[in-house]
Amino acid sequence: MAVALRQPGWYRGALGALLGAAFGFGLVVALRAISGLDIFQTEQTGYPHVVVPLITTPFGFLFGFGAFDYWFRWAAGKPTIPDDHANHGATRWQDYFKFNTDHKVIGIQYVVTTLIFFLIGGALALLIRAELAQPGTQVVDPNVYNGLFSTHAVVMIFLFIIPMFAGLANYVLPLMIGAPDMAFPRLNALSFWMLPIAGIIFLSSFLAPGGAFDAGWTGYAPLSTGAPLGQSFFNIGVQFAGASSIATALNFLVTIITMRAPGMNLWRMPLLVWANLATSLLVVGATPFVAGAQFMVLFDRVLGMNFFQFLEGGDVLSYQHIFWFYSHPAVYIMILPGFGIVSEIISTHARKPVFGYRLMALALIGIVVLSYSVWAHHMFVAGMFDWLRVPIMITTLLIAVPTGIKIFSWLGTLFYGKIHTYSTAMLFSLGFIVTFTVGGISGVMLGMVPLDIHVSDTYFIVAHIHFVLFGGSVFTIFAGIYHWFPKMTGRMYDEKLGRVHFWGTMVGTWGTFIPQHWIGLDGMPRRVADYANIYGDWNLVISVFAFILGFVQLVFFYNMIVSWRFGPKAGNNPWRANSIEWQVSSPPPVFNFDEIPRVVGGPYEFGTPGARHAIMGGEDEPELPGPKPTKVAEPA
């Protein structure tokens, strides 16, 4: 036992968590004693005795778990073990429960963890739909309902969509650019382990007195500054999730900039790499704003500050400005990696080069730039400056241009292609184009001030967000999982079950969210547990489809679990794709390559006889027209 407590791992992690909690609690008591306050009196919403340990406990766990061991040794000037790769790779299932620094292990850790959160978030959604199936109160009381929809949104956004894309990219991106691992493997592992911590904090808010945080995922002040204790769980959980995604984004950027294989210039990068480059720029630039906003709310709640207290000279509306300056770019953080995934899949299964490859890449960058200038379209009815409305409306409509370029380029790729739909990944990609376009068009409608004023806070908004986030992001997530499942596990999934999953999801999505547009235009308010009787019939229909949508996901989970164990062997390249990750074994060996591949052409040269994207180590140089890749000198 004593030995187990000295080694990094779960025992030492549990001890660290206990010590962290004790430290946080003691800190509050000590500071209150020094400043002459009652030691145990808790303010109405402050609860510093809970909030501070909530911050220190995760750090204690991470210290104990071994997240900082290397850095501590380094900082103290002790010898470090740079080449001890004991924490690299996975040979047993237990290796997935360690502080593992292998990008492929971390990728799978991400995907599995976020899928568990997807199940939890989905169960919360079904509870919401059960309550809304009939007017009146059936399943949960209105207070619990507020907690349900808030937690549903937070779990889906911060713990499923954003980290799922980080996980998929974690697995395939270093392979795609011919790198042995990410640039900072330890930071990568630390980013992953902050994610379940954030999840536990969010979900444990249900146990807090006064119930889970119920101010919506937006947590608007001053609703949030006066809310019960659960709101502080939201404020702190967002810090951990945000720090996790900033660290991952930084890691992606450094990896993409410094670790590409010889010959892979910017215009030979697969679009998934471009998409993650763009997304990471957004995360690094925008996520600190949500951290700032939540810090301010936390300061108001716990330290009694007055950022959002009007009577004390605070500015209520500044919360919304600061929050949306992150959270509008965040919707692009939640869709750009999906654009990358779909580009890969459509090109591969239509056996054609991506139409307008350079414009596709530039459109991503265009979206990044524009997305910083559209935040206030969430605030048209909030009472903000009048002069800001029209400029924001124009930039919002402008952002449809690069998005439209992408949609037309996918259609151009499909046009006269040899479209194979045997793969569920391709079905989801095609489904994505249709569903996302509908969601995008309702987004253009919402960008216009008059219509937005009419439908603000109605189910039209709910329908729009779910069409772009479920029909958009989640469809691309499914596509990505199906596409790279053979690479990650070395086994094929069952395409028949995949088709059942796809058509069930498609019908469920449209059946659930299309009628919400109509009742939204009729004025049904969102975020309320009850509604007028005239909306009853449509809500019953919506709930039925929502349950179909929910239960058809079980087919997906069954398919994934059983195929991972019993599926037929997949081979290296089941989709006959060009990019580098398909040229190595499935699953790829530790450190991916014995010899770094050389890139000799674009990633989508389908249909050109003899064209190659990359030459793997040990192969002869093929005779190719055009300039030879220049050999770059090894660093000394």
How far apart CA 65 and CA 274 sit, in angstroms, is 34
Toward another protein, which CB reaches closer, 2 or 632? 632
CB of 572 to another protein, least distance (A): 19
Toward another protein, which CB reaches closer, 232 or 255? 255
Which positions touch another protein (CB under 8 A)?
Answer: 74-77, 79-85, 178-181, 183-186, 246, 250-251, 253-254, 257-262, 264, 284-289, 291-293, 295-296, 299-300, 303-307, 309, 312-315, 317-318, 321-322, 325, 590-591, 593-596, 632, 634-635
Toward another protein, which CB reaches closer, 143 or 318? 318
Name the residue with tokens 């937690």: 151
Q: Comparing C-alpha atoms, which of 405, 234, 221, 228 is closest to residue 318? A: 221
Cα dist from 89 to 174, 195, 255, whole Å: 15, 20, 19
CB of 373 to another protein, least distance (A): 15
Element (H, E) at 449: helix 449-455
Q: Comparing C-alpha atoms, which of 137, 214, 125 is closest to residue 462? A: 125
How far apart CA 389 and CA 102 sit, in angstroms, is 47
Toward another protein, which CB reaches closer, 77 or 627? 77
How far apart CA 336 and CA 278 sit, in angstroms, is 7
**How far does Cα 412 stand from its chain's mean position?**
28
**How far does Cα 107 stand from its chain's mean position?**
13
Cα dist from 575 to 116, 179, 490, whole Å: 28, 22, 13
Toward another protein, which CB reaches closer, 115 or 286? 286
CB of 304 to another protein, least distance (A): 5
Which residues fall within 8 angstroms of residue 380, CB to CB, at 6 or more apart? Answer: 389, 449, 452, 453, 456
CB of 298 to another protein, least distance (A): 11
Toward another protein, which CB reaches closer, 315 or 495? 315
Dihedral of CA 217/221/227/231: which sign?
positive
CB of 338 to another protein, least distance (A): 23
CB of 178 to another protein, least distance (A): 7
Toward another protein, which CB reaches closer, 31 or 561? 31
CB of 43 to another protein, least distance (A): 11
CB of 318 to another protein, least distance (A): 4
Toward another protein, which CB reaches closer, 129 or 260? 260
Toward another protein, which CB reaches closer, 88 or 527? 88
CB of 254 to another protein, least distance (A): 5
CB of 104 to another protein, least distance (A): 12
Residue 155 is classified by DSSP as: I
Toward another protein, which CB reaches closer, 73 or 418? 73
- Apex 31 CA angle, 29 and 37, nearest 5: 80
User: Within a 13 Å sphere around the CA of 319, how many CA atoms are in the beta-carbon half?
Assistant: 24
What three-state secondary structure class fits 469?
Answer: helix
How far apart CA 350 and CA 418 sit, in angstroms, is 5
